[in-house]
Every structure is written in C-alpha cells, then in structure tokens.
Structure 1
Amino acid sequence: ARESLELDTGTFFHTIKGTMEHIALAELLWLKRFSSFGKFASLENNKYLTSEPGKVEKDIVEKIENCLVILEDLDELLIKLIDELSEEALQSVVRYKNTKGDAFEKIYYQTILHVLVHGIHHQGELSAMMDILKIKNDFSGFTSYKYN
C-alpha cells in the first residue's frame, strides 16, 4: 500500500521512498560527473543533465512517481553510456570531486562499477525494508516470498 512507502523501517534512509530517492539522486550525480569526463553522445543534451540546478532533484523528492520515472530514465541513460564507452575510455583515469570538494582520481570503469554496486546495495536494503513491512517482493528474481 502507498502508505508503506513512508513507514520508518529503522534502516539508514528510514523509508522505501527515502531510499528510492537516494538511489535516483546518487545516479543523477554520477551521470553529471560522467558527462564531465568527456564528450559522449548518450549524455549530450539530456534533459536531466542540462536542466537548471536543483530542478531534477526537486522532481525526484516531490513524488514517488516522479522518482520512479526519472530513475528508470537514468538507468537507461547509464546503459547507453556504458554501451558507448570504448575499452580505452573504460581504462582511462578520471578526476572528479565529491560533494565535499575532496579530489579523486580513479579508473573510469571503477566509477561505473561503483554506481552499479551502489544500486545493488540499496536494492538489497529495499528488499529488507519490504520484508520488515511484510510486503511481498522478489528482488533476487529467484524466489518468491510468502507471508502468513
């Protein structure tokens, strides 16, 4: 039920909605970083990456429906970027700053792997939240949960 999305489960982001927002906001942040690593057709003129600062972020947290649509679009954008990257690009060193301003230097593929693992981590958290709330879910795709 819709009200379950905002029930505090005692997890890090407290609610399913909060966790979904975090996943979307983090993916948006990384896609913006990726766009600074070079020119990529998949990222050029993308409405999420070129909108006025704070607009997409506001849309993400405004309504869960917005968040889900935007997250799906960002996932597709990330897939297009990965498809576009050459082996040479994946092995290149990229430089960026985190939100605190700390500078980092990583191999490009490691940053992409980080984004993917981050999403998987929170997918597990969402599954646990749904288990806590007795919401049927099958995030692994291999099992079905039954509650009495």
Structure 2
Amino acid sequence: MTPQTTIRMASYNSQMNQRLYDAAASLSAQDLHQERGAFFGSLFKTMMHIAVGDTVWLHRFAQHPDAHALREEIGVFAKPHALNQQLFGTLAELAPYRRKLDLIIIDWAATLTAEQLDQTLRYSNMAGQDMEKDFALLVTHFFNHQTHHRGQASTLLYQAGVDIGVTDLLALVS
C-alpha cells in the first residue's frame, strides 16, 4: 500500500458508497430490511456493518502517533462495541453518517506518508486483545473489507431488482 493507492482507494470507496446508497434509496423500507440470507441478513444490516467496521478501524488508525487530524475528526463518533451494532434504524439516518465517514477517510488518506505506512500499529481488537500489525497491511484490509461487503450489498440489491452497474475499480478511478 502506498500513499497514492490509499488516496485512490478512498476515492473509490466514496464513489461506490454513494452509488450503493443511491441504489438502496430506491427500495422500500421493507425491501431494505428484508432478511435475504446474507451474512448480516438484510441489505440495511450489511450497509450498517460496513459503516460500523469503518468506524472501528478509523478509531484504531487514530491511535497512530501521526494521526492528529484523524483523532480529532473521528473522536466525535462513538466507537462501536460490536460488528453487528445497529447505529441507526433507517437509511435516512445512516446515509449522512456514511457521507461523513467517507469525507474523513478521504481527508485521512491524503495525510498518509510512505514512512507512516511502513510502521506498525498497536490497537485492541473487538475482543480486547492487544495487537500489533503492519500499518500498510491494516490499511489494505480496511479497504478490502469495504469492497468485500459492498460486493455482498450489490448482490442483495440485484436480488431486489436493482443493478448498480459497473463496480470495477479500474472503470471508476483514474
């Protein structure tokens, strides 16, 4: 992972989240919350999980010694206690939260340097265990996690009759 790749992935993440949320907004609340057999059940819960996961990771990344701005920005968001935590009950509540997260991610990505990415990060996992891992690998995981679950969400949308179109990174980011 390089600083340039991080910036590219933050842009892709934001674009795809906007497309996902626009597509989800075309569904009724019943369709959005319908159990569809996905890992988190419904499309809404899958979208919620992505937001929760992003929030958890941003709180962890804010522990990096050079993450002053991120600490300030993410500090106003409560740290979730579970990966299936329901922060909101409606898409109308979740969507502005998602947009704010995406702006934080874009701002944070623009601050990363190669030297920072070459460091390790100490953090606690959801079970409270202390961890220390390669920071660049963690950032790669962060973006891969989003892409993985957005893939699930796009399948759930397709099953509900909504096609969000091309999702390939190469087609969307220059």
Superposition TM-score tier, normalisation by shorter sequence: 0.7 to 0.9
In structure 1, C-alpha distance between the alignment counterparts of 2:150 and 2:77, rounded to whole Å: 27
CA 12–138 in structure 1, closer or farther in 2 if over 3 Å, else same: same
Match in the other structure for 1:81: 108
For residue 8 of structure 1, the aligned residue among 20, 31, 35 is: 35
Match in the other structure for 1:123: 150
After TM superposition, what 4+ stretches of structure 1 lie above 6 angstroms from structure 2? none
Where do 5+ consecutive residues of structure 2 fail to align? 1-26
Match in the other structure for 1:145: none
Q: Please give the residue correspondences for 1:2-81 in structure 2 after superposition, counting only pairs within 5 Å.
A: 2=28, 3-46=30-73, 48-51=74-77, 60-81=87-108
How far residue 66 of structure 1 moved from its aligned partner, in angstroms, is 2.1
Q: TM-score, normalised by structure 1?
A: 0.82
How far residue 104 of structure 1 moved from its aligned partner, in angstroms, is 1.8
Q: Deviations over 1:48-69 (max 9, x none)?
A: 4235666xxx883232222121
Relative contact order, higher structure (CA 8 A, sep 6+): 2
Q: How many residues align structurally?
A: 139
In structure 1, C-alpha distance between the alignment counterparts of 2:77 and 2:101, rounded to whole Å: 14
Question: Is the contact between residue 30 and residue 115 of structure 1 (CA under 8 Å) also seen in structure 2?
Answer: yes
Where do 5+ consecutive residues of structure 1 fail to align? 143-148
Q: TM-score, normalised by structure 2?
A: 0.71
Q: Deviations over 1:90-137 (max 9, x none)?
A: 110111110101222111111111110000001110111112222232
CA 91–12 in structure 1, closer or farther in 2 if over 3 Å, else same: same
Alignment RMSD: 2.3
Match in the other structure for 2:136: 109
Q: Give the secondary structure class of the aligned counterpart of 2:122.
A: strand
Identity within the alignment, %: 23
Match in the other structure for 1:92: 119
CA 53–25 in structure 1, closer or farther in 2 if over 3 Å, else same: closer
Question: Is the contact between residue 23 and residue 122 of structure 1 (CA under 8 Å) also seen in structure 2?
Answer: yes
